[in-house]
């Protein structure tokens, strides 16, 4: 009698286990390979010492990085082994702007001025008051003083008034206006200077403003106050980034000259942007940005660009507080006159620190620039950064060699090889099908 070979379940289990081990490796080598310094487009040599080291990220890192989160950045020791690191912003510092002397205009009438009494330029700044001396006060005692607060860099919290000689006591009524001619009273204060009974001198010459954000202020005096010599603004203390850096980008005009285009070439941690005109001008513009040349423009804000000189004083618009990391910017004119020349873009950005563990021996390598590499899994925990941080420094020039977009060393990224995944799936189907046929035949023979 002929004997039949029985199918062993152990053999099936063995084949499935062998496939489970081998199949993932057919398409997981790309994930498991650790990137090295040569997998990045750019690199800088860093010198320092063993321990936790700190280095202000050079500007070129922001320009060469291909991820807006700086995820395509690594730090390697002298043997090419990655070391843990993190990027952090410096703690903010408290800052009190210095006192600033403000220009003012004299108003000689009892009632506040109307819009027709005040001449302003295209940017909304006061040029002169009709029927009044727009320079320093004359010999006649003025009734009121007008301050243009539009170009003050910060919101004043108080004003220090310096009068000419003489004792006085005078009530001062304050009027504020966001738009010229639309004045509203903010109450009455007392200004005085006189001798005390003890032989000293009493002065009350400070006006508290409580951080008002109006455009114009009128101080109306209703007494025997002498002429006013100066008005000095004082500001409150606030926090600002510890280190602000600037980068300048030259623009180019569109064919019809109605758009100015800029390529910042990198992902900067922005705090503000500004545009410098080539000469005296006033422009109503729209500001847009985008992250790539294939995207549509994203609206950021509308605003005024102006630059002019009046009474030997330069007037310019304030920077725009925009924090987009987009490298491409566009200025679009909202008026009819085209640009006479391309403006210059000024990027104000916050400097960041690289903190890394100096192990494995130096010099270390800071590598960056590869869109196919994601954020490093080996990052330092912020709570682990304690004690003294040693200063590191960049030595030598940057090494830069452009890579193919999305490449990882000499191998294409996994998403460009779908045939590996499909081949693995087909192989698994064939193995399981063969096992099923073998089991079926064994059962029939039995």
| Nearest residue to 394 (alpha-carbon basis) of 57, 118, 15, 11 | 57
Q: Assess whether 313 and 258 both reside in one domain.
A: yes
Instruction: State percent of the chain over pLDDT 70.
Output: 78
Q: Assess whether 152 and 196 both reside in one domain.
A: yes
Q: What average pLDDT does range 6-30 have in this prediction? A: 50
Q: For residue range 263-312, list pLDDT tens digits in order.
A: 999 999 999 999 999 888 889 999 999 999 999 999 999 999 988 887 67
Instruction: Give exposure, 390-412, as e/b (b: 16+ Cβ within 10 Å).
Output: eebeeeeeeeeeebeeebbbeee
Q: What is the three-class DSSP state of 444?
A: helix
Q: For residue range 76-130, list pLDDT tens digits in order.
A: 999 999 999 999 988 888 999 999 999 888 887 767 777 777 777 666 667 777 7
Q: From the CB of residue 19, how many other CB atoms can be counted at a distance below 10 Å? A: 15
400 domain-assigned: yes
pLDDT higher than threshold 70 for residue 141:
no
Q: Assess whether 227 and 303 both reside in one domain.
A: no
Q: Assess whether 78 and 104 both reside in one domain.
A: no
Q: Assess whether 47 and 111 both reside in one domain.
A: no
For the chain, the domain total comes to 3
Of 236, 271, 298, the position where a domain reaches its end is: 236
Q: Assess whether 230 and 320 both reside in one domain.
A: no
DSSP string, 1-64: ----PPPPHHHHHHHHHHHHHHHHHHHHHHHHSPP-GGGSSEEEEEE--SEEEEEEPPHHHHHH
CATH number for the domain including 284? 2.60.120.260
Q: Assess whether 216 and 299 both reside in one domain.
A: no
3 domain-assigned: no
Q: Assess whether 52 and 133 both reside in one domain.
A: no
Q: Assess whether 283 and 328 both reside in one domain.
A: yes
Domain interval for residue 367? 42-93+351-412
Q: Assess whether 185 and 292 both reside in one domain.
A: no
Q: Assess whether 197 and 317 both reside in one domain.
A: no
Q: Assess whether 230 and 276 both reside in one domain.
A: no
301 domain-assigned: yes
Q: For residue range 354-411, list pLDDT tens digits in order.
A: 999 998 888 999 999 999 999 988 888 888 888 889 999 999 899 999 886 555 544 4
226 is written with which tokens?
């002498």
At 425 the pLDDT is 54
Q: What average pLDDT does range 10-27 have in this prediction? A: 50
342 domain-assigned: yes
Of 212, 236, 260, the position where a domain reaches its end is: 236
């Amino acid at each position: 009698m002929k004997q039949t070979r029985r199918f062993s379940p152990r053999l099936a289990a063995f084949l499935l286990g062998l496939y489970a081990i081998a199949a993932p490796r057919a398409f997981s080598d790309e994930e498991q390979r650790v990137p090295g310094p040569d997998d990045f487009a750019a690199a800088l040599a860093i010198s320092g010492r063993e321990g936790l080291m700190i280095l202000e990220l050079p500007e070129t890192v922001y320009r060469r990085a291909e991820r807006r989160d700086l995820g395509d950045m690594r730090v390697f020791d002298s043997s090419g082994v990655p070391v843990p690191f993190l990027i952090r912003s410096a703690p903010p510092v408290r800052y009190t702007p210095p006192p600033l002397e403000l220009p003012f205009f004299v108003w000689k009438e009892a009632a506040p001025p109307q819009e027709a009494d005040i001449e302003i330029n295209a940017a909304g700044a006061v040029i002169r008051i009709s029927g009044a001396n727009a320079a320093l006060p004359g010999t006649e005692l003025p009734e009121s003083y007008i301050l243009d607060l539009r170009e003050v860099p910060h919101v004043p919290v108080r004003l220090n008034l310096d009068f000419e000689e003489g004792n006085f006591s005078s009530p001062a009524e304050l009027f504020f206006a966001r738009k010229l001619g639309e004045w509203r009273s903010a109450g009455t204060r007392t200004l005085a200077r006189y001798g005390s009974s003890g032989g000293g001198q009493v002065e009350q010459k400070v006006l508290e403003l409580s951080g008002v954000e109006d455009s114009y202020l009128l101080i109306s005096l209703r007494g025997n106050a002498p002429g006013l010599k100066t008005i000095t603004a004082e500001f409150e203390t606030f926090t600002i980034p510890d280190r602000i850096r600037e980068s300048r980008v030259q623009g180019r005009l569109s064919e019809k000259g109605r758009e100015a285009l800029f390529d910042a070439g990198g992902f900067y941690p922005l705090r503000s942007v500004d545009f410098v005109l080539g000469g005296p001008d006033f422009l109503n513009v729209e500001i847009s940005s985008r992250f790539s040349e294939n995207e549509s423009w994203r609206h950021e804000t509308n605003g005024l660009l102006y630059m002019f000189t009046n009474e030997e004083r330069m007037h310019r618009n304030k920077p725009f507080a925009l924090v987009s990391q987009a490298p491409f910017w566009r200025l679009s004119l909202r008026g009819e006159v085209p640009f006479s020349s391309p403006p210059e873009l000024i990027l104000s950005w916050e400097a960041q620190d690289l903190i890394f563990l100096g192990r494995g021996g130096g010099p270390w390598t800071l590598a960056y620039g590869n869109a196919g590499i994601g954020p490093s899994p080996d990052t330092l925990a912020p709570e682990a950064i304690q004690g003294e941080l040693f200063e590191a420094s960049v030595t030598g020039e940057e090494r830069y060699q452009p890579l193919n977009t999305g490449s990882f060393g000499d191998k294409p990224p996994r998403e460009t090889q779908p045939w590996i995944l499909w081949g693995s799936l087909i192989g698994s189907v064939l193995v399981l099908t063969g096992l099923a046929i073998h089991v079926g035949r064994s059962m029939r023979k039995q």
